[in-house]
Amino acid sequence: MFKRVFFVCILSCLLVTPFVLYAQEPIKVGIVLPLTGDQAKFGEIEKQSFDLAFEEINAAGGINGRPIQALIEDDTGRPEVGRSVVEKLITKDKVVMVGGGYSSSVTFAVAGVCQQNHIPFLVNTGSADDITEQGWDYVFRLNQPASEYASGMESLLVEVVKPKSVAILHENSLFGTSQASSFEKTAKKLNIDVLMKEGYEHGGIDFKPVLIKVKSKNPDLVYMVSYVMDAALLMKQSMELKLTPKLFVGGGAGFTLPEFQQNAGKASEKVISATLWHQVLPYPGAKEYYEKFVKKYNKETEYHGAQAYAAAYVIADVLKRTKSLKPEDIKESLEQTNLMTVFGPVRFISYGKMKNQNKLPTYVVQWIDGKLELVWPKDLATKPLVYPVNWLKEWGY
- Is there a cis peptide before residue 79, judged by omega within 30 degrees of 0? no
Q: What is the mean pLDDT of residues 24-43?
A: 96
Element (H, E) at 18: helix 2-23
Coil/strand/helix, residue 170: strand
Q: Which of 36-40, 43-47, 175-179, 334-338 has the lowest mean pLDDT?
A: 175-179
Residue 360 has pLDDT above 60, yes or no: yes
Q: What is the mean pLDDT of residues 365-378?
A: 97
Domain ranges of the chain: 22-144+282-357, 148-275+362-395
Residue 11 has pLDDT above 50, yes or no: no
Q: What is the pLDDT of residue 333?
A: 98
pLDDT band for position 14 (50/70/90)? very low
Q: What is the pLDDT of residue 224?
A: 96
Report yes or no: 88 and 106 within 8 Å, Cβ to Cβ. no
Residue 203 has pLDDT above 60, yes or no: yes
pLDDT band for position 204 (50/70/90)? confident
Report yes or no: 168 and 183 within 8 Å, Cβ to Cβ. yes
Coil/strand/helix, residue 70: strand
The pair phi, psi for residue 380, each rounded to 5°, is: -110, -5
Q: What is the mean pLDDT of residues 233-254?
A: 95
pLDDT digits (tens, 9 = 90+) for 92-112: 999 999 999 999 999 999 999
Q: What is the mean pLDDT of residues 130-134?
A: 97
Cα(304)–Cα(102) distance, integer angstroms:
9
Q: Which amino acid makes up residue 26?
A: P
Q: What is the mean pLDDT of residues 112-132?
A: 97
Give domain 22-144+282-357's CATH architecture.
3-Layer(aba) Sandwich (3.40)
Report yes or no: 121 and 355 within 8 Å, Cβ to Cβ. no
Q: What is the mean pLDDT of residues 333-346?
A: 98
Strand 221-225 vs strand 193-200: parallel, antiparallel, or unpaired? Answer: unpaired
Q: Do domains 22-144+282-357 and 148-275+362-395 have the same CATH topology?
A: yes
**Average pLDDT of the chain, as a whole number:** 93
Residue 352 has pLDDT above 70, yes or no: yes
Cα(87)–Cα(300) distance, integer angstroms:
33
Q: Which of 16-30, 34-48, 210-224, 239-253 has the lowest mean pLDDT?
A: 16-30
CATH code, 148-275+362-395: 3.40.50.2300
Q: Which of 1-10, 58-67, 70-79, 356-365 has the lowest mean pLDDT?
A: 1-10
Torsion of CA 143, 190, 384, 270, to 10 degrees: 80
Sheet holding 97-100, edge to edge: 68-74, 27-33, 97-100, 121-123, 139-141, 354-357, 349-351
Strand 139-141 vs strand 121-123: parallel, antiparallel, or unpaired? Answer: parallel
Residue 57 has pLDDT above 80, yes or no: yes
pLDDT digits (tens, 9 = 90+) for 244-295: 999 999 987 789 999 999 999 999 999 999 999 999 999 999 999 999 999 9
Question: pTM of the predicted model, to two decimals?
Answer: 0.89
Strand 339-341 vs strand 272-275: parallel, antiparallel, or unpaired? Answer: unpaired
Torsion of CA 98, 307, 362, 180, to 10 degrees: -60
Residue 15 has pLDDT above 80, yes or no: no
pLDDT band for position 1 (50/70/90)? very low
